[in-house]
Amino acid sequence: MLNPKLFDEMSARVSSLLAATPAGDVEKHMRAVLSSVFAKLDLVTREEFDVQREVLTRTREKLVALEARVSELEARKQPIPPTSGQ
């Protein structure tokens, strides 16, 4: 089985070698461009998304409970007999 630490060391060495070449400059510029593009897209973080998903889930659960309660109350409601106009 391969050692994960070995992969980390190799990755660090390759990164340091690339940083010393024109490819390193290209990578830096690409990261800057991508960061700029993503900033303009008005994205949310994964954490913010997960929080909002939980809020929506709880809201849906409450809505289902309220709909069931309204249906129950409507079923219990006795129709009011019509009064005669005489």
pLDDT in tens, 19-73: 777 766 777 778 888 888 877 887 788 999 999 999 999 999 999 999 999 999 9
Determine which of 6-10, 66-70, 75-79 has the lowest per-residue pLDDT on average.
6-10
pTM score > 0.85 for this model?
Answer: no
Name 18's Cβ contacts closer than 8 Å, sequence gap at least 6.
24, 27
d(CA 7, CA 2): 8
The helix/strand/coil state of 45 is coil
Is residue 86 predicted with pLDDT exceeding 60? no
Take residue 25 and report the two structure tokens written for it.
């400059």
Place of tokens 């990755």: 11
Band of residue 2 on the pLDDT scale cut at 50, 70, 90: low
Residue 59 has what pLDDT? Answer: 98
Query: What is the number of other CB atoms lying within 10 angstroms of the CB of residue 32?
Result: 10
CA contacts within 13 A on the Cβ side of 77: 8
**pLDDT attached to residue 46:** 92
